[in-house]
Amino acid sequence: MRVSALTRRLAVIFMGLALVFLYAPILTNFVFSLNSDRFPTIPLGGFTLEWYRLILADALVIDAFKNTIKIALIVAPIATAMGFAAAYADYRFNFIGKRLVLIFALMPPLIPLVVIGLAMLAYLSRIGLSGTLPAIVVSHIVLTSPFAMAIIRLRFSQIDGDLEFAAQNLGASNWRAFWEVIIPATKTSILAAFLLCMAVSFDEYAVTWFVGGLEETSSVRILSFLQSAVSPRINAIGSITFITSITLILGAQILVLRRLTRGNS
């Protein structure tokens, strides 16, 4: 758009301020996790690793982190595989009601988490699963697979639809064409989806809190800490969760963006 340099500059500055606003709570969390004062405010106290030492000595926190990792490592492969299958089916086949299935598959992240939590809790306690780790796994797959499908579908939309058929015309079977054409073309997006699913599973607290009963993940542990009192221990756990999810998301983004820019050139 042809607008004055001043307007451009103002808009870009405003955008920068919005970024500062979004990152401020993340940055202060790191600062206060290393600050010796019990009450987090300015001016800062001294440097300490005390809060990290406290949470690492807390059996509840350690168990919660173990659960989180276990759950994410089961959820991510299953959700990615199912998201991939749905994205591939949408790219490759035509069937009646395909659009409806797609919209249905994108629904879970749009329903309020408390509502899904209640519905899942009632349903899973009917089949005797509520209050167990499998209950958390089952619901996390519902919540993460739409993201996997979306991110892999994005990649399929750049692949020439005739490539696979060309391979088949050259004598390759369905499966051979799949392994030699589809998998190499989509493997980075599959990895990106995997990382994204892990990140979403890692940070989910509402549904987990409802269906998990006494089983806690690190996010639910944070929720319990929040319900009791302000404590720099929350900052310490918070820093660990931030570092983990930021690493996963940046990884996913780099994979997707590299593909996109290479796809354009």
Segment 87-146, which members bind another protein (CB under 8 A)? 88-89, 92-93, 95, 101, 104-105, 107-108, 110-124, 126, 138-139, 141-142, 145
Distance CA 102, CA 125 (A): 28
3-state class (DSSP) for residue 188: helix
Q: How far is the CB of 212 from another protein (least distance, A)?
A: 12
Residue choice 41, 170, 171, 229 for contact with another protein (CB under 8 A): 41
Stretch 161-180: interaction string toward another protein, x if CB under 8 A? -------------xx-----
Comparing CB distances to another protein, the nearer of 62 and 142 is: 142
Distance CA 225, CA 183 (A): 44
Determine if 26 is a binding residue for another protein (CB under 8 A).
Answer: yes
What part of residues 48-77 is at the interface with another protein (CB under 8 A)?
Answer: none
Sign, CA torsion 86/88/89/94: positive
State phi, psi for 251 to the nearest 5 degrees. -60, -50
Comparing CB distances to another protein, the nearer of 72 and 141 is: 141
Stretch 193-212: interaction string toward another protein, x if CB under 8 A? ---x--xx--x-xx---x--
Q: Which string of DSSP letters, residue by residue, matches 204-263? A: --HHHHHHHTT---HHHHHHHHHHH---HHHHHHHHHHHHHHHHHHHHHHHHHHHHHHHH
Instruction: Candidates 59-67, 69-77, 184-192, 239-247: pick the segment binding another protein (CB under 8 A).
Output: 239-247
The amino acid present at 131, given as its one-letter code, is G
3-state secondary structure string across 47-81: ECCHHHHHHHCCHHHHHHHHHHHHHHHHHHHHHHH
Q: Do the beta carbons of residue 260 and residue 196 sit within 8 Å?
A: no
Q: How far is the CB of 188 from another protein (least distance, A)?
A: 16
Q: How far is the CB of 134 from another protein (least distance, A)?
A: 11
Count of residues that interact with another protein, criterion CB under 8 A:
91
Residue choice 51, 65, 156, 242 for contact with another protein (CB under 8 A): 242
